[in-house]
Structure 1
Amino acid sequence: MYLIEWNWWKMQTTSANSREESEEMKLPQGRLTGNDWYESDLEDVHFRGVSTKPNPPTPLFKFNNTYMEIRCGGSEEKRGLITIMTLGGICPMIYTINLMAIGFAYLDLTEPHLSSVATILLTLFMIALSSTINYLYIRYGFQITRLEAFTSRHLLIRFNRKNQQVYLHRPKSCGGIVTLPWRTTGSSAVNHRDDHASLGMRQILHWHPALTGLPHCEMAMIGNQGNGGSELRDQWEFIRRYMEEGPDAVPRPRLSTQLPSPIQAFSAQFEGMSRFLRNSSWLFKVILLMVWPAFVILGTAHWVSLMLCWRPRWPKVIREAGLPGKPVPPLTTLADYPPDVQERLLANADRWQLKPGKRPDKKPRSPRARSAKKDASSV
């Protein structure tokens, strides 16, 4: 499921009018808080060691002396939900309505003696209803379906250590394929202060426009969900050492298949939960056993969605990048996008402007303040 990446790209390419309307609908205190970036935020973009135990992110598809390739995606564990709604609800409904409309029209054409004003009006109504539903699905619904089916099987990130570049492989609806400099890559796993919010989270890599020269911020959520900040730092250290020191500086990883594996489909539902499950009570484990049919249904739908997609393929210039005598892929610039997309990206460029100084610390809410607020609300 590419819902996070799809929404991220839509947010960055929204038109000026749509953005103004959405800002007017927000409460005053929430209009700009999500858009504040400070110069101190870029201090996290560094390439110093953060761990002594480099551990590869998984699933990792390719690893050699030139590049390594890892799966991306911010909500892979939820993949299958849209497939269930599409194949179990939307498609049967569209099929039934279309079949009824065709049936009414067939009867009116082949047996006109049985027709009346009422049956003809009913036929016209069914044809209009069928046409409307088909249009709405093709115009609006199919782009939701394509978040899990009839698209690339996975989002990919490729680290090329020979050219010191990073490549993102995504559908056009999620930003498309881009080439970025390795030395502009920031990670969410470099600071211990974020450990409390890292359980069950994926590592987020980001490329701020102040470093890349692009008018927008790029983002990639790589690998499986982690069991905490230390695990994510081990994964970042693996990537850092590979790019900075080479493949001999990291342990040899175990590679995963890019085929639609049922093992990956069913295990995705338990990503980031291994430490929690080991320490959970026996009652919680019994509850999990009671709801196992839900896991089977979701895992099956996940597997079906993988089979309904095709294996992503890189452009030739990226496939040959790093080989002797082959050209270095050009970095992505604003000019690589269509004119209408360029206009919308520039219209949203102010989202990423840096404020001077450090990000202010959040004021902790004291227990006295919380109790006073509670007492005031109860009066």
Structure 2
Amino acid sequence: MYLIECGLWRIATETAAERKKTDADKSPSEKRADKDFYDSDLSEDVHFNSVSDKAHSRGPVFSFNERYMEMRCGALEEARGMISLMTLGGVLPSILVTGTSGIGWLYQDITTPDTRSIVGVLLALLMTGLSAGIIYLYYTYGLQITRLEMLTSRHLIVRFNRITQQVHLHRPKSCGGIVTFPWHTTGSTAIYPADDHLSVGMRLGLIWHPSKTGLPHLESAMVGKQGQGGSELRDEWEFIRRYMEEGPHAVPRPRLSTHLPSPIQAFSAQFEGLGRFVRNSSWLFKVCLLLLWPAFVIVGTAHWVSLMLCWRPRWPKVIREAGMPGKPVPPVTTLSDYPPEIQARLLANADRWELKPGKRPERKARKARAKATRNEQS
């Protein structure tokens, strides 16, 4: 499910009216937090020093060789199947029922004129109009939601090319499209051990800030599986870092996953990040999980169906051949790669990512702040 990726892209490309509405809904503290980011914060958060003694990837890794490594992206993979379930279990049956009913009434009126009546004609027109209305509403509003997990690329993927020292993101156009960044502009959310308690159930986040890429918007990718602790995310980042900095010999060879719509991927995704939690939970909680197995089966099946109704993502030729002898290096993504309308929207929202110059001021102790406040009031 590409809901978060699509939402972030829409934020970066909001119109003036949408931006005004979004800002109006924010609280004063949220507005201050959006602007509370300094140059020093970025320089501290983007580095390529070792952060773990154990380089390990929990996957899924689709390709791993001397030239490049491919991993799965996506922030809500465990929830994939819910949209498919609503579409295949709700919208399509409604269209089929109303459509076949309307056609059936019309066919009966045409073939058996003796039984024709005003009521029959009205019912045929009503059901046909209702079916047409559902199809129109679905095509106008629902199809774009369905394509967040069906009739689109099977997975969001990230390719790390160690020969060209570049990172490539493969996403649908509704999520920002295919982009290319230099490796050394990549930031990671898994750097500080102090943040480990905040990382339970999260994925490794990779971030490309405008001050590093030259683009007017922030880019990000959520890589791999959910972590059961921050240490797992740091191990994942260390795996990627060593591969890019030192080569495939510096990390253990990962188990490769298939690009095919595997049922194992569909059903196991629901339990990402739960292993440690379930092991440490009470027997009563484990019994409750067993009682919920029908729901897991339904969602897992819908997940599998969504994978089968998608196609394998395919890179452009220049990226597929990148790093081969005599082949060109893919150009880094720039603002000019986007359509003029998208360029204008990205530039209009560029102030979202501006950094305050200098270093973040040290926070005063609580007592000192309280004393300063009292002195100002007196």
TM-score normalized by the length of structure 1? 0.91
Aligned equivalent of 2:161 = 160
Q: Per-residue displacement from partner, 1:318-341 (whole Å, max 9, x unpaired)?
A: 000000000000001111111111
Cα gap change, 1:46 to 1:287, in 2 (>3 Å)? same
Change (3 A) 1:84 1:48: same
CA deviation digits over 1:255-308, x for unaligned, max 9?
Answer: 111111111111111111111122122221111111111111111111111111
Residues 59 and 254 in structure 2, CA contact (< 8 A), matched pair in contact too: no
Q: Look up the match of 2:101.
A: 100
Output the CA distance in 1 between the equivalents of 2:12 and 2:116.
54
1:23-34 pair list within 5 angstroms: 23-34=23-34
> 1:29 deviation in Å?
4.2
Q: 2:225·2:272 contact (CA, 8 Å) conserved in 1? A: yes
Question: Which whole-Å CA distance do the structure 2 matches of 1:97 and 1:35 have between them?
Answer: 52
Amino acid at match of 2:184: R
Which amino acid in 2 is paired with 1:235? E
Q: Residue in 2 aligned with 1:299? A: 300
Instruction: Name 1:67's counterpart in structure 2.
Output: 68
Aligned equivalent of 2:51: 50
Letter in 2 for 1:325: G
Residues 28/126 of structure 1: CA separation in 2 closer, same or farther (3 Å cut): farther
Give the structure 2 partner of residue 207 of structure 1. Answer: 208
Retained in 2: the 8 A contact 1:57–1:70?
Answer: no
Q: Secondary structure at the match of 2:168?
A: strand
SS of corresponding position for 1:355 = coil
Q: 1:104 to 1:226 in 2, by over 3 A?
A: same
Greater Cα shift, 114-123 or 36-45:
114-123
Give 1:354 shift.
Answer: 0.6
What number of residue pairs does the alignment pair up?
366
Aligned in 2, Cα 1:360/1:60: closer, same or farther, shift over 3 Å? farther
Contact 1:185 1:206 in 2 (8 A): yes
2:233, 2:218 → 1: CA distance? 21
Question: Alignment partner of 1:296: what SS?
Answer: helix
Structure 1 residue 250: deviation in Å?
1.1
C-alpha distance in 1 between matches for 2:176 and 2:365: 37
Q: Distance in 2 between matches of 1:308 and 1:119?
A: 38
8 A Cα contact 1:166 1:180, kept in partner: yes
Residues 241-260 of structure 1 correspond to what in structure 2 (within 5 A)? 241-260=242-261
How many Å apart are 1:28 and its aligned residue?
4.2
Secondary structure of 1:37's match? Answer: coil
Equivalent residue for 1:217? 218
The range that moved more, 35-44 or 5-14, is: 35-44
Counterpart residue number, 1:228: 229
Q: Tell me, which stretches of 5 or more residues in structure 1 are unaligned?
A: 366-379
SS where residue 49 of structure 2 aligns?
Answer: coil
Percent identity of paired positions between Structure 1 and Structure 2: 66
Alignment check: 8 A CA contact 2:35 2:355 kept? no
SS in 1 for 2:261: coil
d(CA) in 2 for partners of 1:188 and 1:92? 43
Matches for 1:1-379 after TM superposition, within 5 Å: 1-34=1-34, 36-42=36-42, 43-358=44-359
CA distance in 2, matches of 1:129, 1:286: 45
What is the distance in 2 between the residues matched to 1:275 and 1:88? 34
Instruction: Pick closer, same or farther for the CA change 1:145–1:364 going to 2, 3 Å.
Output: farther
Deviation at 1:314, TM superposition (A): 0.6
Contact in 2 for aligned 1:36/1:351 (Cα 8 Å): no
The separation in 1 between residues aligned to 2:361 and 2:105, in whole angstroms, is: 67
Task: Tell me which residue corresponds to 1:372.
Answer: none
Q: Report the AA paired with residue 6 of structure 1.
A: C
- The unaligned stretches of length 5 or more in structure 2 are 367-378
Alpha-carbon distance in 2 for matches of 1:318, 1:364:
52
Q: Is the 8 A contact 1:224 1:271 kept in 2?
A: yes
Give the deviation of 1:56 after TM superposition: 1.8
Tell me the residue number matched to 2:373. Answer: none
Q: Distance in 2 between matches of 1:331 and 1:362?
A: 39
Quote the Cα distance in structure 1 between the aligned partners of 2:141 and 2:337: 26
Report if aligned partners of 2:102, 2:123 keep a CA contact under 8 Å in 1: no
Contact (CA 8 Å) 2:154, 2:311: kept in 1 or not?
Answer: yes
Q: How far apart are 1:35 and its partner, in Å?
A: 5.3
Q: How big is each residue's C-alpha offset from its partner over 1:19-60, in whole Å with a ceiling of 9 and x where there is no partner?
A: 112323444444453454322331200000101110024001
For residues 165 and 118 of structure 2, what CA distance do their matches in structure 1 show? 73
Shift of 1:118: 4.5
- What amino acid maps onto 2:280 in structure 1? N
Distance apart, 1:73 and its partner CA: 0.5
